[in-house]
Amino acid sequence: MNYDINHNDLKKSLEIQKEIMKKKIYHIKSVIKSIEEAVHMIDENKELNWDKFINIIDAVNADQKWIEQYENASNLKARIRIHELFSTNKQGWMNWFFEQLNLPDNASILELGCGNGELWAKNLHKIPSGWNITLTDFSAGMLEDAKKNLNSARFKFKLADAQDIPYGINSFDAVIANHVLYHVSNIDRALSEICRVLKPKGQFYASTVGKNHMREMRDIVKKFNSPEITTDSWNLTGKFQLENGLAKVSRWFKDVTLKRYKDNLRVTSSSPLADYLFSMPGNTKNALDETGLRNLKDFLQSEIDKNGYIYITKDTGFFHGTKPKI
C-alpha cells in the first residue's frame, strides 16, 4: 500500500514537472522566434523595432523568475496571509472584487492567472449555478494548488499563457485578470488575445496595484539595510499599474473605468511581515543565517513597538471595459 501511494505521488510530481517543461519550451521557442525576426530586420536593413528588443530582454529576464516564484502557491499564501490578518477593511479584496463582477446568471467566464483559486474559494456559495468557469494559469504547480483548494467539479482547469490563450474567437462572456497583467512580457499581446476570445460586448476585469502600494514596506527594507533583502520586485508591477493601466486597456476596450478598493494594513506581528518579505522575488530565507533572521525579526518588532503597529498603505483596484461590438 505504501508503494502505491509513493508511486502515485511520484507520477503526479513528474506530470507537473512535464507541464512546466512544456511551458519553458514554448517560451524559449517564442524568444527564439522574436530574435530571428529581429535579426531578419537587421539583415534586410529595415527600421529597427526597439519595442521588440525590449520585449525579448524582458521575456528572457522575467520568465525564469516568475516560473520559480509560482511553481506552487506557498509564496502567494504568505502574501495573502498578511492581508487577511492585518487589513483594516475586513470585507477582504477577494470578496469585494467578486461583488464587482456584474455578469448575467448564465455566463461563460475565463480567469487568467488564477493562482491558487482564492477568488473562487472565498466566494463559492455566491457563484450563480449558471456560470461556466474556466481557470487558467501559466504555472502547472499553481494550477494544481487551485484544484486542491477548490476541490469542485464546477471548474475547468487549463494550463495557459495570457499571451497565447488556447481558446477560439468569441468564446467567453467575461475574462478576469486578477493581478496578472504586470507579470506578462507583452501586455499589448495579452490584451489582444483577451479581446479575441471575448464575445462582442463581453466584459473584461483587470485588477492591479498603484505605485504607492505597500510603500512603507519598501521604506522598512531600506532602513534595515541588508544586502540579502531587496525591494526590486516591487518595481515589477510598474508595467501595469492603476496610474498607467487605463490607457493600455482603452486601446482594446471601450467605456473603461477604474474603481479602487479602500484599505490599508496595521501590522502588529513581525513573523507574518518577515514571511511576506521572503515571499517576494529575489528574497530567500536561505540568504540569512540564524543570527540574520533574528536581527530582521527584532528590527521589525522594534518598528511595531514604536506605535503599536506598522501602518502600510494599500492601493488596489481594477479596470473594467467592454469589447466593442464588431
Amino acid at 170: N
Structural element, H or E, at residue 255: strand 254-261
Is residue 160 pLDDT above 90, yes or no? yes
pLDDT at 222: 87
Amino acid at 69: Q
Average the pLDDT over 322-326 and give the result: 85
Q: Please, are residues 326 and 226 in contact by the beta-carbon 8 Å criterion?
A: no
- Residue 182 sits at the vertex; the CA angle it makes with 28 and 41, to the nearest 5 degrees, is 45
Residue that has been written with the C-alpha cell 474567437 in this structure: 169
Rg, C-alpha atoms of the chain: 21
Q: What is the pLDDT of residues 223-265, one digit of tens each?
A: 888 877 877 767 788 999 999 999 999 999 999 999 999 999 9
- All three cell numbers of 5: 501511494
How far apart CA 159 and CA 157 sit, in angstroms, is 7
Average the pLDDT over 297-326 and give the result: 93
Q: What is the pLDDT of residues 110-133, one digit of tens each?
A: 999 999 999 999 999 999 999 999
9: confidence class by pLDDT, cuts 50, 70, 90: very low
Q: Please, are residues 109 and 132 in contact by the beta-carbon 8 Å criterion?
A: yes
Burial of 65 (C-beta count, 10 Å sphere; 0-12/13-18/19+):
middle
